[in-house]
Chains A and B, each alone.
Chain A
Amino acid sequence: MKKVRSRHKIAEGLNDLFYIWREEFSNVLKDQGVLIFFFLVPLAYPILYAFIYTNETVREVPVVAVDHSHSTLSRKFLRDADASPDIHVIAYCADLEEAKDIMRKKGAYGTIYIPAHFSDDIAKGIQTQVQIYCDMSGLLYYKAILSTCTDVSLEMNRQIKISRLGNTTDKQDEVSTQPILYENVALFNPQNGFASFLIPAVLILIIQQTLLLGIGLSAGTARENNRFKDLVPLNRRYHGTLRIVLGKSLVYFMIYLLMGTYILCAVPKMFNLVQIAQANVLFTFIIPYLSACIFFAMTASIAIRNRETCMLIFVFTSLPLLFISGISWPGAAVPPFWKYFSWLFPSTFGINGFIRINSMGATLPEILFEYRALWLQTGIYFLTTCWVYRHQILLSQKHGGAQN
């Protein structure tokens, strides 16, 4: 007898689950606002971002030169600097005042100043200095100007040393100027590009934020449409917590499996970003990420009372979440408080894991911490979702009961 009843109960539960699933699906498809968040934003935003950063790095930063040395060596220095890909000497000024004026008018972002004694010093064997002044409105300008001038000076230093040494063979020249050779290997982002660095993080973040917005929007709508402003409608089929939570999350999960494939696989390909992920690893990792995001969003949606408020509350969080994840600002430099705070959000682990899988070719053992954390979050947020929905069901029943 008891067995039959429990089997009956399971069957009823599954029935309700799929009923709720169907309802939620049709709600999503009928609601233009949710469609925008679930489909349009994930389709269009990554393209816009990739388009902004697609040039990867800044080239030909305009600089002005002030050459008081007027010597073969100083002219060579400036010529070599100009010939580099990163800076472009747009003018030769008579003095620093003239150079400053050009910088004030934003004609140039830096000044290279070669003092009058430059060539004399070198001839006398005294160390000499080339001054560079950089506008600090963008660190990439500074980086371009400083690294170019350093490269030029190192190369000229080498040649000066060779001419002083009077060696007899080329090999001797090489060894005496550079007793130890060195090489830099820029792993995982060889062109030092901005897009390859930032876009993967943005892609992962878009998944979480659009889920927050979409689920928040439909929760707000539900509250506006239901009597007594409850989240859960007064309906015979909306009685079991598990049915509601699973039925709804299944809808989001199916949609985001599709969108996630587009965002995480197609977008990097379209913009030729670094993409060395192994398909099975990426898939294994994305499952807990999506689940954690969905339950996180469902829990957070409890705060949404009106249809439109989700945008006011969630949109601005994108930027702090991007910074706290330890991608743009190195994770090692994130203060401990914010580090633990960041563990509340699936995006932190999602971004770190995805960048390692996608850009650094990591496999599951290397991202075990993030992987486990996401499953843990899935579990915790599933429980909180159940809890808040349970509370809401009771509330709606109470309201319903009071009415009867």
Chain B
Amino acid sequence: MIRGTLHRIALLTKRELKEMGSRPLYLFCIIIAPLFCYIFFTTLMGNGLPTDMPVGVVDPDNTTTTRNIIRNLDAFQQTQITAHYPTVTEAREAMQRGEIYAFYYIPEGTTEKTLSSRQPTVSFYTNNSLLIAGSLLYKDLRTMSELAGGAVGRATLYAKGATENQAMAFLQPIVIDAHALNNPWLNYSVYLCNAILPGILMLLIFMVTIYSIGSEVKNGTAQTWMRIANNNINMALTGKLLPQTILFFIMAAFYNVYLYGYLHFPCNSGIFPMLLAALLMVLASQAFGIFLYGLFPALRLALSAASLWGVVSFSISGFSFPVMAMNPALQALCNLFPLRHYFLIYVDQALNGYPMAYAWESYIALLVFVMLPLFILKRLHKAILYYPYMP
């Protein structure tokens, strides 16, 4: 009995491997597309944190003091002074042309007013329609502005005979010492790639699973498929999807090795919980694909649903924009996306290195996704055997 089952599964697997070998589409979706995305995202954000972003200066005052401020600003890691503009209007136009992300404006008479204690105002303009560049530069420009004021105060204090410690304690009695836990470099690649790469893989798994089931119906080979499986839907699915499970797991394991082993992204839990999560992720995504096909037994509809789910999961999983800031309805809805649970596992395990027990809910949630096909197996069986292909 068991030998018979194994034999049939082996037959199905072989049949599927032949099918996969004959169509470049599978090669593209299982190997090339994920590999391209791994390399693309990690090299695109290879710097970790953007550095030397172009900033303009409008300095009609043009004194030793203001030039000093500008030089200091240029020395900041993320800021690079690329141009001087005679007026604010011209700087604004340069910003609209996309040449600079921000500019610093020091009006005429700033030095004179500072020296005569008349409290001049300097300003900086950040382009916040490019949010990341805008916020990073905001930090630099603001620090510089604080320091510019402080420099004047420090000079006064030194003149009065204060030591450096005394001067700093007077100017900044309280300082904030920030600890960005487990990503002290504020590395965007660490922050985004850990969720984007599995997200892409999930999207492709949904689609490939649906496509390989649906094309049996489309090509009219479903009867043969079922006959080999002795008309047992469980066996048919297992045999058919097993090669894909293995290939996708290899791809998932590969990005784990690539991110944590080669690029040395934080992996404080050790690799095994992440490999377990990767396996669960592959199974959950395949199961979700089967579920979608059972729900919409038409190739095109199921693929459309998978695209919707896969693409929306990048936004709703909360790695770029936190779930807690979303509408309450969406906060509940985000649980229906496997990427959300994978992301929570990653945060607890690889990023923060908490014991597995803290992430148990997310592991269970992925397991629930793995169970999903059970609800639609009967319907799916009927759909595969009797429903005609719908263009």
Contacts and interface: CB of A to CB of B under 8 A. Distances in A.
Contacts of A143: 135
Contacts of A187: 92, 95, 125-129
A401 interface: no
B53 A330 contact: yes
Contacts of B207: 311-312, 315
B174 A122 contact: yes
Interface string A350-386: 0010011001111000110100000000000000000
Interface string A304-330: 000111011101101110011001111
Nearest to A125: B169
Contacts of B165: 126-127
A30 to B, nearest CB: 10
Contacts of B188: 139, 329
Given A33-B300, A356-B98, A181 B120 contact: yes
Interface stretch (B246-254, B316-324, B363-371, B373-381): B316-324
B45 interface: yes
Given A143-B135, A315-B311, A184 B141 contact: yes
B128 A180 contact: no
A129 B177 contact: yes
Interface in B291-307: 299-300, 303-304, 306-307
A95 interface: no
Contacts of A129: 174-177
Contacts of B130: 197, 327, 330, 355
A208 interface: no
A51 B354 CA distance: 33
Contact of B177 (A126, A130, A367): A130
A330 B101 CA distance: 9
A25 interface: no
B135 A149 contact: no
B347 interface: yes
A229 B327 CA distance: 48
Interface in B203-227: 203-204, 207-208, 211, 214-215, 218
B173 A160 contact: yes
Contacts of B120: 180-181
B124 interface: yes
A312 B153 CA distance: 63
Given A179-B149, A221-B391, A356 B96 contact: yes
A252 B141 CA distance: 47
Contacts of B179: 131-134
Contacts of A51: 327, 330
Interface stretch (B33-41, B228-236, B273-281): B33-41
Nearest to A161: B170
Contacts of B303: 308, 311-312
B102 to A, nearest CB: 9
Interface in A52-75: 52-55, 57-59, 61
B106 to A, nearest CB: 9
A403 interface: no
Contacts of A33: 300, 304, 391
B70 interface: no
A197 B358 CA distance: 34
Given A104-B354, A180-B145, A311-B304, A140 B391 contact: no
B326 A362 contact: no
A94 B219 CA distance: 67
A178 B166 contact: no
Contacts of B243: none
B10 interface: no
Contacts of B119: 174-175, 178-181
B206 to A, nearest CB: 10
A301 B276 CA distance: 39
Nearest to B47: A333
B64 interface: no
Where chain A touches its partner, the secondary structure class is helix
A319 B214 CA distance: 26
B203 A316 contact: yes
Contacts of A330: 50, 53, 101, 130, 132-133, 136
A29 interface: no
A157 interface: yes
Interface in B127-183: 127-136, 138, 141-142, 145-146, 148-149, 152-153, 165-166, 168-183
Contacts of A133: 179, 181
Given A104-B354, A324-B44, A327-B130, A150 B95 contact: no
B281 to A, nearest CB: 16
A134 B200 contact: no
A105 interface: yes
A153 B191 CA distance: 28
Given A140-B321, A184-B138, A308-B214, A176 B123 contact: no
A323 to B, nearest CB: 6
B121 A197 contact: no
Given A184-B124, A335-B46, A150 B176 contact: yes
Nearest to B118: A175
Contacts of A104: 348, 352, 354, 358
B123 A184 contact: yes
B148 to A, nearest CB: 5
B48 to A, nearest CB: 10
B325 A134 contact: no
Contacts of A141: 322
A299 to B, nearest CB: 18
Given A52-B330, A185-B125, A308 B300 contact: yes
Contact of A360 (B96, B114, B131, B215): B96
A48 interface: yes
Interface of B: 25, 28-29, 33, 36-37, 40-41, 43-47, 50-54, 92-93, 95-98, 101, 110, 114, 117-136, 138, 141-142, 145-146, 148-149, 152-153, 165-166, 168-183, 186, 188, 191, 196, 199-200, 203-204, 207-208, 211, 214-215, 218, 299-300, 303-304, 306-307, 310-312, 314-316, 318-322, 324-327, 330, 343, 347-348, 351-352, 354, 358, 391
Given A51-B327, A182-B148, 16 more contacts: A31-B391, A33-B391, A52-B326, A133-B179, A134-B178, A139-B186, A143-B135, A150-B176, A179-B117, A181-B121, A184-B124, A184-B126, A316-B200, A319-B199, A330-B101, A338-B43
8 contacts: A129-B175, A129-B176, A132-B177, A137-B319, A142-B186, A323-B40, A329-B188, A360-B127
> Would you list the 6 A-B pairs with minimal beta carbon distance, nearest first?
A333-B50, A182-B145, A189-B128, A197-B131, A330-B133, A58-B325
